[in-house]
Amino acid sequence: MSTGSPVGSHRVVSPAGALPQAADRLDPDPGIADDEVRISVERLNLDAASYRQLHTAHGGDGEAVRAEVRAIIERRGKMHNPVTGSGGMLIGTVEEVGPRSPLGLKAGQKVATLVSLTLTPLHIDDGLARWDGKSEQVPTSGHAILFGRSIAAVLPPDLPEHLALAVLDVCGAPALVRRVVARRASAETTVAVLGAAGKSGSLSLAAARDAGAATVVAVVRDEIEDACLRGSGLADEIVIADATDPLRLAKKVEHALDGRGADVTVVCVDVPGCEHGAILSTATGGTVVFFSMATSFTAAALGAEGLAADVEMLIGNGYVPGHADYALDLLRANPHLKDLFIDRVGEETE
């Protein structure tokens, strides 16, 4: 058994010198180095921005989406959407643990990987035959590799696996929102969440409340999402707005907050083009958390500069210590949040 690089650089096929996330292609060989772990894969969770892009590009043709995802995995040795640059995560069973793995995993454990599929060596052996290409969750079989420096969570016994997978995919959002709101240490903090009826959005609402925000505004796409959130207690105000329409969005958020922008704006929408609306909706000295993978760094940076907006802008790093447990605890503590998730991810199919 060889010794691997803890960051997985020995798995990079091309280009030489890149880390796995930036690589074009990884080597998913099932033989593990002495600090690696091999997982028998059961289900992938495609990142929402990636799935939406594929679904839109193929006009909703599930067979074409399935063929493209299969081709990406076979070509790249990982599920790394070349258009959105995003991936997702997976669940499976630990098959083999190298003797020097620091992850503390044991063979036979059911786990979710908490690192992106964009850097996880992955091989599928069923051609995605059990997936219709019409949902973010992909039942499949094959194997994936975790490096020495990686993260995985043992699946909780009290939640259906597909539900836990959906929560863990976006668990970085609520942990970051809690940190940002708590850091302001003000009883007056206002928070606006764009894409609030979605998975990361609804968890962010709950986290803002938990962290002591004074007013939480949910921005949703339409009346259907409004109805999903109404009565849930997750938000003080619900605003229906297109997050890609900056002027109308900012006007509606300010209207909900007595003429001010939000102290913290969280972008959880899965489509591009929300940067300027988020910046305009944020008060001077406030913070914008760009959790969405459809965010353009250029549009955010140049947009803020061009608007002379003195706002802090955070990239939603998917890792915050304790993020998995925190997200699962929020779900357990809030039946409305759990119902929202179940409505979104459906009943377990297998």
Would you tell me which residues interact with ligand NAP (CB under 6 A)?
47-49, 86, 169-170, 172, 195, 197-201, 221, 225, 242-244, 268-271, 291-294, 316, 318
Nearer to ligand NAP by Cβ, of 22 and 129: the residue is 22
Nearer to ligand NAP by Cβ, of 165 and 293: the residue is 293
Measured distance CA(74)–CA(69) in Å, rounded = 9
Least separation, in Å, of the C-beta of 75 and ligand NAP?
21
* Closest residue to ligand NAP using C-beta atoms: 198
Least separation, in Å, of the C-beta of 183 and ligand NAP?
19
Least separation, in Å, of the C-beta of 18 and ligand NAP?
20
> Do residues 76 and 26 lie in contact, with contact meaning Cβ atoms separated by under 8 Å?
yes
Nearer to ligand NAP by Cβ, of 197 and 311: the residue is 197
Nearer to ligand NAP by Cβ, of 35 and 131: the residue is 131
Least separation, in Å, of the C-beta of 60 and ligand NAP?
13
Measured distance CA(191)–CA(205) in Å, rounded = 8
Least separation, in Å, of the C-beta of 272 and ligand NAP?
9
3-state SS assignment for residue 154? strand
In this structure, what is the dihedral angle of CA atoms 132, 136, 142, 145, given to the nearest 10 degrees? 170
Give the pair of three-digit tokens for residue 19. Answer: 């880390």
Give the pair of three-digit tokens for residue 247. Answer: 């002027």
Measured distance CA(52)–CA(166) in Å, rounded = 15
Least separation, in Å, of the C-beta of 223 and ligand NAP?
11
β-sheet with 215-220: strand ranges across: 237-240, 215-220, 190-194, 262-267, 282-290, 312-315
> To 10 degrees, what angle do helices 161-169 and 199-210 make?
70
Nearer to ligand NAP by Cβ, of 37 and 197: the residue is 197
Amino acid at 211: A
Nearer to ligand NAP by Cβ, of 32 and 48: the residue is 48
